[in-house]
Structure 1
Amino acid sequence: MGHALQSGTGIGERAEGGTLPEATGIELIQPVRPIVLGFSQLGSESEWRMANTNSVKEAAKEAGIELLFENAEQSQEKQFEAIRSFIKRKVDVIAIAPVVHSGWDEILTEVKQAGIPLIISDRSVDVGDTSLYVTHIGADLYEEGRKAGKYLVDKMRDAAETVQIVELRGTEGSSPSIQRGQGFRDIVLKQPGYKMMASVDADFTFERGKEAMGTLLEQYGSEMDVLFAQNDDMALGAIEAIEEYGLRPGVDIVIISVDGTRRAFMMLGEGKINCIVECNPLLGPNMMQAVQELVAGRTLPKRIVPQESVYTEQMAKKETPFRKY
């Protein structure tokens, strides 16, 4: 297989068409052979991640792109191995959903030296040279944290006493954990009357979320007013822990989550979650359009951000039937 940006590879030229970020309406001359995309997915730790994986696989099939898929199972080292295998196989494009934020300079330099364009999906990477990747497709994670903070400040604006907050963080060193947490703090902790009692790692999983919340309840009990969970799976685990402790999630403890999975929306409708900041996992169509644009020799925007919303209890009943994940 030849690289996408080399001549004489058998990849067709591109006709006029639409522009990103809308993944519709593009018109491409069909290539002589399928475009080959190597995708390193960071894991399968949450419902969000599984929806993201399914979106990529379905979009690749629909676009006629040959997808080489590797699940890194939360290991950066496994992602390095997958990327090197993609280089060896001379794929046309490589895409990665990075498990952590840092440590990518060397491996991405190898990709660039091989002449293979690279797409960052979902989470971001911290590299000294941003030319090591072509584009980053995914949410504004910092802004998600700010949205959560703005909701809380508005909801608790009439609070007579200090608002005591606990936070369940995602995977240590991951960009969602870092950026959502920072965005939330930059809104909430600049307001008088807000205190972060504790912030603990729960790795974006239901089990760790329940375990961590149980420990926090033993330590703080009803002193805590708010839980900010950096994803739905941790929030759902925390809800079980809160109920087992004898408190009412969404009433005794305000719960704010990020993602927007169907199960979380059901909890939103029941009043057990008060707010969900959406993080759209359905990035497959955008990724496949970006791949096709790259192969056609087009220049992509450095950042592609999907449309996302903030949902409250009052919106849950109307929105839940339309959730695709």
Structure 2
Amino acid sequence: MKSNRIITAAAVAAGLLFAATGCAKPLDDQGAATANGEGTEQVVESASEATCTNPAPSDKELGDMKIGFSQSENEQNPFRATETASVRQSVEEAGAEFVYTNANSDQAKQLSDIQSMINQGVDALIVAPISATGLQSAFEAAKSKGIPVITIDRETAGEPCTDFISFMGSDFERQGERAGEAMIEALGGEGSVAELQGAPGSDVATLRTTGFDVAVKDAGGIEIVAQQTGNWATSEAQEVLAQLLSSNPDIDAVYTHSDTMALGALTAISQAGLTPGKDVKVVSIDGTREAVGHVASGDIAAIVETNPRFGPAAVDLLAKWFAGDEVAQEIIMKDELYTEKNAQDALDSGRAY
């Protein structure tokens, strides 16, 4: 994991705690989140010491700007739907014009989408990249027009302060480690695990695999007997796990890189005549409402959260950028761990999406 992931005094002083409503909230004297009763806060866990600064601050008000958002995937995925709603709400609450595109997992379309928004005269871009590479030409086009870019939820190739001004997201390797720790607890330290991975080439999938591997290897009694992609899809994960359970009926648990795949895994387990949570343990990453409901009922052992509500943080950072203030090149959000003990609270508070 990256060594520059530390909370700086400047980050704390700037109040880098963002609520889903678009209101920034400060940290208290102990650095704890100030509660707002909604349970949906996105809290900064660390901010890099390295910063970027706008060389030509603007006198233009954010409310007079046009802000584009390039979404990467179909919004049937609850993470994507919540993410888009958060960005849209925050941009519109700031008084700015919201310009939206969705690449539907098509890299070429995301490139053309970004170019289209540049042609429409956006003042800033928020981009949820499809993959770890492939957006360099889009970044070059934005740079040539003096348009700042924030990347969210997935890291992509490029130089901070040159190709984009900041990345906001989770520590994906740490998410994998936490999933591994939850799996160790669920299995009592021993068992065979099938891993359903995200899309090949995704930095998220790679890091979630790495972190999980590190955690379970340290335990010693857990063996990963299969690693196959489910491409973040419910139906594909169901099909893959059905085949794995048929060829290896001794699988004790399943680790999925997303809740969409966890739901497919639950179906495959049930159709194999097994009981999720009893015969086969499931650990996932995301925090969608449907999946967290399965944690509350005991079907899923644990879920490592990925909070998709980036809107307030992204809009706040753009305001700082245009004002000429320093902005952190990397901002890592804090994620919860949902177990049977707190899953119902996450559902009741609205934090599970």
The alignment yields a C-alpha RMSD, in angstroms, of 2.1
| Number of the residue aligned with 2:16 | 21
Cα 1:32/1:285, change in 2 over 3 Å: closer
The alpha carbon displacement at 1:20 in A equals 5.5
For 2:344 and 2:159, locate their aligned partners in 1 and report how far apart those are by CA, in whole Å: 45
For 1:282 and 1:150, locate their aligned partners in 2 and report how far apart those are by CA, in whole Å: 25
Instruction: Say whether 1:255 aligns with 2:282.
Output: yes
| Number of the residue aligned with 1:42 | 72
The alpha carbon displacement at 1:130 in A equals 6.3
Instruction: Say whether 1:97 aligns with 2:128.
Output: yes
The alpha carbon displacement at 1:156 in A equals 3.3
Cα 1:57/1:259, change in 2 over 3 Å: same
The correspondence of residues 160-309 of structure 1 with structure 2, limited to 5 A, is 163-221=191-249, 223-309=250-336
The alpha carbon displacement at 1:129 in A equals 6.4
The alpha carbon displacement at 1:267 in A equals 0.4
For 1:293 and 1:302, locate their aligned partners in 2 and report how far apart those are by CA, in whole Å: 13
What is the CA deviation profile of residues 67-111 of structure 1, one whole-angstrom value per residue up to 9, with x for unaligned ones? Answer: 110000001111110111222223111111001112233332232
The alpha carbon displacement at 1:25 in A equals 4.6
Report if the CA contact (8 A) 1:293-1:300 is conserved: yes
Choose 140-149 or 32-41, whichever is displaced more.
Answer: 32-41
| Number of the residue aligned with 2:341 | 314
What is the CA deviation profile of residues 128-147 of structure 1, one whole-angstrom value per residue up to 9, with x for unaligned ones? Answer: 66631100111111111111
Cα 1:182/1:318, change in 2 over 3 Å: same
The SS at the match of 1:203 is coil
| Number of the residue aligned with 1:86 | 117
Q: Percent identity?
A: 29
For 1:169, give the aligned amino acid.
Answer: Q
The SS at the match of 1:281 is coil
| Number of the residue aligned with 2:185 | 154
For 2:282 and 2:189, locate their aligned partners in 1 and report how far apart those are by CA, in whole Å: 17
Q: Which has the higher contact order (CA 8 A, sep 6+)?
A: 2
The SS at the match of 1:167 is strand
For 1:271 and 1:202, locate their aligned partners in 2 and report how far apart those are by CA, in whole Å: 23
Instruction: Say whether 1:65 aligns with 2:96.
Output: yes
The SS at the match of 2:226 is strand
| Number of the residue aligned with 2:142 | 111
Report if the CA contact (8 A) 1:48-1:281 is conserved: yes
The alpha carbon displacement at 1:158 in A equals 4.9
For 1:32 and 1:238, locate their aligned partners in 2 and report how far apart those are by CA, in whole Å: 44
For 1:220 and 1:25, locate their aligned partners in 2 and report how far apart those are by CA, in whole Å: 50
The SS at the match of 2:328 is coil
The alpha carbon displacement at 1:170 in A equals 1.3
The alpha carbon displacement at 1:32 in A equals 8.4
Give the gaps of 5 or more residues in structure 2: 1-12, 26-58
Cα 1:32/1:60, change in 2 over 3 Å: closer
The alpha carbon displacement at 1:168 in A equals 0.9
The alpha carbon displacement at 1:126 in A equals 2.5
For 2:326 and 2:82, locate their aligned partners in 1 and report how far apart those are by CA, in whole Å: 28
Choose 43-52 or 127-136, whichever is displaced more.
Answer: 127-136
For 2:286 and 2:307, locate their aligned partners in 1 and report how far apart those are by CA, in whole Å: 7
Give the gaps of 5 or more residues in structure 1: 1-17
